[in-house]
């Protein structure tokens, strides 16, 4: 089975059901299937198919969705580019991945032409509103889908071949192009849908960009079960997102801890009835126990679900839930999904016993084919046994539940101790005056690294730095208590919602 087979099967079994609803436009499964076939046929006539790559520079739009399915159906691999990234970052991805064509929305194409991107492919796929692109072959969606596709025979790649290339959010260093196969992604989707018991009656409001793995895996998941995906207009205004939840009445909502914390802090979530909302899926990080309880109290009839993973693992590795399981172990991210093996290794790469902190290593059918750069082994990301070195530190308990301590790259070495930011952030965010926090280390001639915390106040509160340090001392040893606490309006984040501690660290090293 290949990824486009999910759409073909959905169109056969639920032809007239809505597959996707955008702020501007919607589509049934059968309409999407027909449109994608036209795109695949055109790519085929252009000699683009298995072994080739086609990049996508689109926002969360119907146009981008049609091109995505069409590229997959042609047998080529998609290359997702982040639309809000700078020219240098996108050109670097284009130069590295070398796509044969680029699916691009008109406003992004105008930017490319104005800035004179050298790495832009010669074949462009866009819409009728696209500006002229001298020297390049421009194909519009209207022209493509109006052409006949009679008797078109599309090649089928091997299931182990690369289907998607996703560029990581790049919170540390240059973004990496992760190559994921049809097998990788289908194994992950199958395990997850079975674990949550999703059916065609289910739907989801998506706030994540489709160019990230969070967005793509939700698209594949709900296509497999023939559920409807509602696309949010964006997360700039949390109250608007809450209105979308009320209007569309999805059965599910998936987000990063940032999304849930923001809804609790800056919207009327607690006072808005959402009777059909059954599943709240927390991914990409941990909510502290106090925030988990606050979220459950705000939507008491909904079940909480937690998962942990990476783009390199397609992405989910664990599942924790539903709510009663989570509250029994509120600081765990759950147990391995079927087919996934988790190990905790010491510095000698030997397995460590339960409850011992070490490097989290994963293996299973979802582990990536590699990086576009080809340095997955040289960089130590994939070891000699083919296991994924996640870059996280943590431990397993006797029953196989995983507990994360933090990123190995974010560990603070202060006064001879290894200190993990998440432990301190959990304590800070348990204080009623704190909305969210970020902890990091800066160089210190005496301590090695000095622990610094940046705190965003909860609405209506004005926390004092000294009061928060005193609060931390009640739960943490002195050596792990922040030496500095700074009150800030917001924390820097990637477009996927991850806090960038390294950006804060750089600012404070240079001078706050």
Q: Give me the helices (H) in 174-305, please.
A: 182-196, 213-224, 238-248, 257-266, 289-298
Can you give the pTM of this predicted structure? 0.86
pLDDT value of residue 411 = 80
pLDDT value of residue 447 = 81
pLDDT value of residue 445 = 82
List own/partner pairs for 238-247 with CB under 8 A and 24 or more apart: 238/262, 238/263, 238/265, 238/266, 238/267, 239/266, 239/267, 239/268, 241/205, 241/207, 241/267, 242/267, 242/268, 242/269, 242/272, 244/205, 245/205, 245/272, 245/274, 245/277, 246/272, 246/273, 246/274
Domains annotated on the chain, with CATH: 3-13+23-157 (3.40.50.980), 411-510 (3.30.300.30)
Closest by CA to 51, choosing from 68, 67, 80, 74, is: 74
Give every residue of the chain whose pLDDT is below 70, as ranges.
169-173, 495-496, 511-512
The DSSP string of 53-65 is EEEEE--SSHHHH
pLDDT value of residue 495 = 63
End-to-end CA distance of the chain: 53
pLDDT value of residue 171 = 46
């Amino acid at each position: 089975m290949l990824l486009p087979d999910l759409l073909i099967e959905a169109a056969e079994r639920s032809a007239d059901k809505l597959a996707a609803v955008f702020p501007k436009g919607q589509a049934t499964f059968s309409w999407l299937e027909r449109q994608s076939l036209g795109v695949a046929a055109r790519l085929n006539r252009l000699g683009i198919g298995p072994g080739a790559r086609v990049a996508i520079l689109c926002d969360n739009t119907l146009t981008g969705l049609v091109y995505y399915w069409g590229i997959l159906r042609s047998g080529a691999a998609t290359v997702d580019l982040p639309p809000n990234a700078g020219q240098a970052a996108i050109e670097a991805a284009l130069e590295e991945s070398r796509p044969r064509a680029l699916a691009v929305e008109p406003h992004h194409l105008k930017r490319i032409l104005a800035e004179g991107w050298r790495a832009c492919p010669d074949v462009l796929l866009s819409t009728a509103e696209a500006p002229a692109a001298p020297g390049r072959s421009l194909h519009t969606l209207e022209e493509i889908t109006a052409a006949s596709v009679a008797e078109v025979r599309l090649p089928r790649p091997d299931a182990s071949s690369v289907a998607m290339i996703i560029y990581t959010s790049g919170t540390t260093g240059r973004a990496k192009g992760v190559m994921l196969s049809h097998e990788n992604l289908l194994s992950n989707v199958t395990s997850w849908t079975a674990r949550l018991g999703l059916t065609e009656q289910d739907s989801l409001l998506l706030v994540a960009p489709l160019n990230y793995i969070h967005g793509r895996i939700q698209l594949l998941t709900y296509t497999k079960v023939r559920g409807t995906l509602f696309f949010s207009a964006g997360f700039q205004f949390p109250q608007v997102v809450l209105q979308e939840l009320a209007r569309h009445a999805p059965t599910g909502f998936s987000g990063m801890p940032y999304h849930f914390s923001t809804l609790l802090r800056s919207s009327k979530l607690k006072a808005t009835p959402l009777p059909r909302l059954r599943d709240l899926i927390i991914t990409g990080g941990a909510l502290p126990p106090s925030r988990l309880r606050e979220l459950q109290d705000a939507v008491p009839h909904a079940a909480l679900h937690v998962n942990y993973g990476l783009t390199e693992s397609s992405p989910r590795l664990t599942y924790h839930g539903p709510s009663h399981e989570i509250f029994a172990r509120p600081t765990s991210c759950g147990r391995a999904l079927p087919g996934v093996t988790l190990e905790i290794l010491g510095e000698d790469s030997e397995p460590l016993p339960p409850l011992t902190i070490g490097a989290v290593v994963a293996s299973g059918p979802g582990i990536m084919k590699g990086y576009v750069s080809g340095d997955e082994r040289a960089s130590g990301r994939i070891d000699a046994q083919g296991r994924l070195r996640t870059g996280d530190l943590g431990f397993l308990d006797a029953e196989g539940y995983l507990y994360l301590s933090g990123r190995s790259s974010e560990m603070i070495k202060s006064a001879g101790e290894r200190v993990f930011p998440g432990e301190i952030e959990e304590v800070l965010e348990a204080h009623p005056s704190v909305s969210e926090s970020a902890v990091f280390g800066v160089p210190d001639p005496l301590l090695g690294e000095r622990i610094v915390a940046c705190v965003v106040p909860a609405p209506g509160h004005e926390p004092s730095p000294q009061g928060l340090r005193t609060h931390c001392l009640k739960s943490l040893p002195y050596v792990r208590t922040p030496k500095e606490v700074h009150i800030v309006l917001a924390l820097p984040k990637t477009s996927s919602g991850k806090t960038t501690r390294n950006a804060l660290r750089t600012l404070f090293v240079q001078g706050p």
